[in-house]
Structure 1
Amino acid sequence: MRCAVVGDPIAHSLSPVLHRAGYAALGLDASYDAVQVPAGGLAGFVAGLGPEWRGLSVTAPLKREALDLADTVSARAELAGGANTLVRTEAGWAADNTDLPGAMAAIRERYDGPVGAATIVGAGATAASTGLALAELGACTVRLLARDRARAAETVAALERHPGLEVDVVPIEGGGIIGEVVVSTVPAAAQSEVLVAATAAAAVVFEVVYDPWPTPLAAAAAQRGQPLVTGLDLLVHQAVLQFAMYTGHDGPLDAMRSAGEQALAAR
Structure 2
Amino acid sequence: MRAAVLGSPVAHSLSPLLHTTAYAALGLTDWTYTRREVTADELAGVVAGLDESWRGLSLTMPLKEAAFDVAATVSDVARDAGAVNTLVRRTDGGWDGHNTDVAGLAGALDAALDAALAVDGHDDRATLLGSGATSRSAALALVDLGVREVRVAARNTEAAAAVVALFESHGVAAGHVPLEHWVREPGRLVVSTLPPSASTAVGALLEHDRTDLGGVTLLDVVYAEWPTPLARAAQAHGADVVSGLEMLVRQAALQVELFTGRAAPLEAMAEAARREVGA
Q: Please give the TM-score of this superposition, normalised by the length of structure 1.
A: 0.91
Provide the rounded CA distance (Å) in 1 between the counterparts of 2:80 and 2:53: 30
> Shift of residue 224 of structure 1?
5.2
Residue type of the alignment partner of 1:119:
T
Q: Percent identity?
A: 46
Residue aligned with 1:34, SS? strand
SS in 2 for 1:10: coil
| AA in 2 matched with 1:13 | S
Equivalent residues in 2 for 1:132-143, closer than 5 Å: 132-143=140-151
Give the partner amino acid of 1:5: V
Offset, 1:157: 4.4
Equivalence map 1:224-235=2 (5 Å): 226-235=239-248
Could you list the runs of 5+ residues in structure 2 that have no partner in the other structure? none
Q: Secondary structure at the match of 1:118?
A: strand
Unaligned runs of 5+ in 1: none
Q: Aligned pair in 2 of structure 1 residues 47, 183: CA closer, same or farther (>3 Å)?
A: same
Match of 2:48 in 1: 47
Call closer, same or farther: CA 1:153–1:225 in 2, change over 3 Å.
closer
Q: Does 1:194 align with 2:201?
A: no
Q: Distance in 2 between matches of 1:198 and 1:34?
A: 42
Corresponding position of 1:110: 112
Structure 2 partner of 1:249: 262
User: Which position in structure 1 is the counterpart of 2:218?
Assistant: 205
- Which residue of structure 1 aligns with residue 153 of structure 2? 145
* Residue aligning to 1:78: 79
Deviation sequence 1:164-188 (CA, Å, 0-9, x none): 1233222212334432210111134
Is the contact made by 2:226 and 2:243 (CA closer than 8 Å) also made in structure 1? no
- The alpha-carbon deviation at position 225 of structure 1 amounts to 5.5
Larger CA deviation: 140-149 vs 56-65: 140-149
Greater Rg by CA: 2
Give 3-state SS (helix, strand or coil) of 1:251's partner: coil
CA deviation after TM superposition for structure 1 residue 262, in Å: 1.7
Contact (CA 8 Å) 2:215, 2:240: kept in 1 or not? no
C-alpha spacing 1:157/1:38, structure 2 compared with 1 (3 Å): farther
- Answer with 232-241 or 102-111: which moved more: 102-111
For residues 22 and 16 of structure 2, the distance between their equivalents in structure 1, rounded to whole angstroms, comes to: 10
Poorly superposed stretches of 4+, deviation over 4 Å: 195-199
**Cα displacement (A) at 1:236:** 0.2
**SS of corresponding position for 1:27:** coil
CA deviation after TM superposition for structure 1 residue 145, in Å? 1.4
Residue deviations 1:189-214 (CA, integer Å, cap 9, x gap): 42321157547155211011111111
TM-score, with length taken from structure 2: 0.88
Are the aligned partners of 2:108 and 2:246 in contact in 1 as well (CA < 8 Å)? yes
Q: Are 2:93 and 1:94 equivalent residues in the alignment? A: no
Superposition RMSD in Å: 2.0
Range that drifts further, 114-123 or 199-208: 199-208
Contact 1:74–1:95 under 8 Å retained in 2:
yes
Distance in 1 (CA, whole Å) between partners of 2:223 and 2:212 is 18
Counting only pairs closer than 5 Å after superposition, residues 63-74 of structure 1 correspond to structure 2 as 63-74=64-75
Q: Is 2:132 aligned against 1:127?
A: no
**Partners of 1:119 and 1:178 within 8 A in 2:** yes
Partner Cα distance (2:212, 2:91) in 1: 47
Contact residue 22 and residue 268 of structure 2 kept, 8 A: yes
Cα distance in 1 for residues equivalent to 2:166 and 2:38: 25
Residue equivalent to 2:31: 30
The answer to whether the Cα contact below 8 Å between 2:125 and 2:188 also exists between their aligned partners in 1 is yes
1:40 Cα shift?
A: 2.1
* Number of equivalent positions: 265
